[in-house]
A and B are shown apart, each in its own frame.
Chain A
Amino acid sequence: MAGQEQQKPQSHDSQVEDEIPEAPPAAPEAQASAATQGVDDLLDEIDGVLESNAEEFVRAFVQKGGQ
């Protein structure tokens, strides 16, 4: 396992637990127009967010049965 997660396993401080995702609601029309723009920009951002070792990370995600 070499994902970004393990490189700093205990670095989260306790403040983060109060963090709630927030962003101002946008009008639906504004939302729709934003979607068609900036695909490259989006992929650059997502590159930085993705776990670092894709193959290893996906392989290790094994679930036990559920409903």
Chain B
Amino acid sequence: MTAAPERAGGGGLPAGGAMRVMGAETEYGIHAPSAPGANATMMSSRVVQAYAQVTRQRAAGGAETRWDYTDEEPLHDARGWTLERASAHPSQLTDQPPVLDAEAVALAYGREELELDGEDESGSLLMNMVLGNGARLYVDHAHPEYSSAEVTNPRDAVIWDAAGDLVALAAVRRLAADPELPPVNLYKNNTDNKSVSYGSHENYLMPRSVPFGDIVRGLTPFFVTRQIICGAGRVGLGQDSSTPGYQISQRADFFEAEVGLETTIRRPIINTRDEPHATADKYRRLHVIIGDANLSQSSNYLKFGTTAMVLSLIEAGLAPKVEVHEPVAALQTVSHDTSLTAKLRLLDGRRVTALDLQWIYHEAAAKLAQDTGVADAVDGDGHTHQVLERWAATLTQLDSDRNAAATSVEWLAKLSLLEGYRNRDNLAWGDARLGLVDLQWADIRPEKGLYYRFLARNRMQRIVDDGAIAAAMTEPPSDTRAFFRGRCISSFGKDVVGASWDSVIFDVPGYGRLQRVPTREPLRGTKALTGGLFARHRAAGPFLAELLGHNTAPPAA
């Protein structure tokens, strides 16, 4: 964790570079090979349940808690209006209560499937957990989802996102050991190659004062092209993979709009969901839905680091003045061009490659970072220098040394394996074995997942060590409010009845009613501010008394 110099006002982090409050969400593909017809929502709920059993063993009193839905506002549009509930697609109503009942299953699948499924499990399966590492583990539609704790930099984003893969793995192991239930596989990917896609989202905190139109203009050309460094690769072209071939991105073919509120239908390059999960007049939470789920640490690191830097450019009013003609089509053109030579038309008439556009952004980001001082190797913010270096090195390798790039860029690493099979066994792109390699690349079990086989052979670079990822399964980041949330769960789990991104709710004997501790400032509630409080108290009552007693605004809020 860096010792970031505190700034008065603003976000409190050094501005102009790669530091920013951010977090990752991963929806896992879920499959039980021995029970192919099993209800996906039920299976996802079992995953959450299984992890609850794991954490119950770990922490006396239980480390799981309910999600508090008070501040969920999935229909708020960043462009300044709110969608009527009645006109929303049911899948947009993400603020509904967490209980998986017959109604919820019917909503997701229709009555018929509910009756066909026939299992008597529709009472109240656990759908939601808040973890001691500050994350949320829950059932989102028909997938288990892990939403990482808020972190302040791309390196920690990689660590706490990868920790989610270990959480998912622990649940898979638990289910595999249960003789009553079919084993469940989880895949960190984004499509079943049969027309269905599920997301891995990024969240970035921004000042609300930045006009949304600037965000759209500044980000769109970047999002059209960043896949060349952070695409995860996909066998098959088209939403249903009906055209044989290989493409850079898992997600590109599923995007149909430039800007919009939806995440499950008519997916937009820029998503306008406006739930800040923080003080709403100061911040917006930019919800990015276009990314691929990354196993490659370097691709994941650059995905967060470069995007954070482009947001810094937009905030400074210094985003490159480029506009891509027909961005949705351009997104797919880039994804389908593994040679990286396709030219995109800009509105000013220029024709540039995806690499050219990435260099344009890199140059602008490097200049801003230099001007603000955050990129200094010694006196900088401790992150921006490394992001710029790795970004440049990756772009250079993509242009001139693909073998080197394949040790860090996920789509190229996967392609190298697929090409190996194609050459050895003379396989066409439509061969099922190549489809299996694509799928099994993302199996989160290290003995089965092909990414992990690459990692074990050092064919892919590590940029964080395994111990840091393992520790992040249980430890929250120390420099955001996630520290407060996570420590409340791990220290006082049995007294916490609910938690969300911006609150922790206690039910403690001696207090007449529930105590809701708001955590609306993402950079408060840190170890520096609340570590002593946790060290001083073993019981929730005295802890709350000190937290709430000193003044009306508790230290964590």
Contacts and interface: CB of A to CB of B under 8 A. Distances in A.
B420 A57 contact: no
Contacts of A61: 29, 31, 187, 192-193, 439
A40 B452 CA distance: 18
B224 interface: no
Tier of interface size on chain B: 35 or more
B177 A12 contact: yes
B118 to A, nearest CB: 18
14 contacts: A1-B36, A12-B173, A21-B452, A21-B455, A25-B465, A34-B458, A40-B424, A42-B457, A49-B440, A63-B143, A63-B191, A64-B143, A64-B196, A65-B196
Q: Closest 10 CB pairs between A and B?
A: A66-B198, A64-B142, A17-B173, A21-B446, A55-B432, A67-B199, A63-B192, A67-B263, A54-B436, A54-B432
B170 A17 contact: yes
Contacts of A20: 166, 466, 470
A58 to B, nearest CB: 4
Contacts of B108: 64
Given A43-B424, A63-B30, A66-B140, A28 B461 contact: yes
A3 B34 CA distance: 9
Residue of A57, A66, A67 with most partner-chain B CB within 10 A: A67
Contacts of A13: 177
Interface in B388-433: 403-404, 406-407, 416-417, 420-421, 424, 432-433
Interface string B446-477: 11101011011111111001100010000000
Contacts of B450: 46, 49
Contacts, number: 171
A39 B418 CA distance: 11
A17 B54 contact: yes
Given A21-B466, A35-B459, A46-B417, A65 B91 contact: yes
Contact of A35 (B34, B403, B462): B403
What does DSSP make chain B's interface, helix, strand, loop or mixed? mixed
A5 B183 contact: yes
A32 B142 CA distance: 39
B515 interface: no
A64 B421 CA distance: 30
A17 B167 CA distance: 11
Contacts of A34: 457-459
Contacts of A22: 466
Contacts of A12: 173, 176-177, 183
Contacts of B40: 63-64
Interface in B6-34: 27, 29-31, 33-34
B174 A17 contact: yes
A66 B173 contact: no
Contacts of A14: 177
Contact of B420 (A26, A39, A62): A39
Contact of B403 (A30, A36, A54): A36
B108 to A, nearest CB: 7
Given A12-B176, A66-B140, A43 B421 contact: yes
B33 A42 contact: no
A26 B470 CA distance: 17
Interface of B: 27, 29-31, 33-34, 36, 40-41, 54, 91, 108-109, 140-143, 166, 170, 173-174, 176-177, 179, 182-183, 185, 187, 191-194, 196-199, 201, 263-264, 289, 403-404, 406-407, 416-417, 420-421, 424, 432-433, 435-437, 439-440, 446-448, 450, 452-453, 455-462, 465-466, 470
Contacts of B173: 12, 16-17, 19
A21 to B, nearest CB: 4
Tier of interface size on chain A: 35 or more
Nearest to B191: A63
Interface of A: 1, 3, 5-6, 9-10, 12-14, 16-17, 19-23, 25-26, 28, 30-32, 34-36, 38-40, 42-43, 45-46, 49-51, 54-55, 57-67
Contacts of A21: 446, 452, 455-456, 466
Contacts of B465: 25
Residue of A22, A31, A65 with most partner-chain B CB within 10 A: A65
A51 B466 contact: no
A42 B458 CA distance: 12
Contact of B440 (A19, A50, A60): A50
A31 B199 contact: no
B231 to A, nearest CB: 18
A30 B459 CA distance: 9
Contacts of A6: 33-34
A67 B461 contact: no
B31 A67 contact: no
A22 to B, nearest CB: 5
A43 B58 CA distance: 39
A27 to B, nearest CB: 9
A31 B458 contact: yes
A38 B456 CA distance: 14
A34 B499 CA distance: 46
A20 B173 CA distance: 11
A50 B436 contact: yes
A65 B264 contact: yes
B28 to A, nearest CB: 10
